[in-house]
Amino acid sequence: MEQNILEISDYIVIDQDVRFGKPCIKGTRIAVGDILQWLSEGIPVSEILDDYPLLKGVHIQAALAFAARREEITKVMVTE
């Protein structure tokens, strides 16, 4: 069975000139953090897509994958 691997870089860009360099959906000013915040507030994906017609379901998936990968590489430094 072939897996469909999401290439985050196909959908998310970091540009100093857009939203102060926050990761955004390509071609928009919609930040990954905005999408994550909406989802954390319980806003359904269908409502987000209705409110932001430039977004597609794959953009929501890319935002979640971006957050998951960032979490995966985050390390905690313990100092005493």
Residue 1 pLDDT exceeds 50: no
pTM above 0.95, yes or no: no
Map out the domains of the chain with their CATH numbers.
Answer: 8-73 (1.10.10.10)
| Cα–Cα distance measured from residue 33 to residue 19, given in angstroms and rounded to the nearest whole number | 11
pLDDT per position as a tens digit, 7-58: 999 999 999 999 999 999 999 999 999 999 999 999 999 999 999 999 999 9
Look up residue 31 and give its DSSP letter.
B
∠ CA 13-19-24, rounded to 5°: 30
39: its two tokens: 């989802």
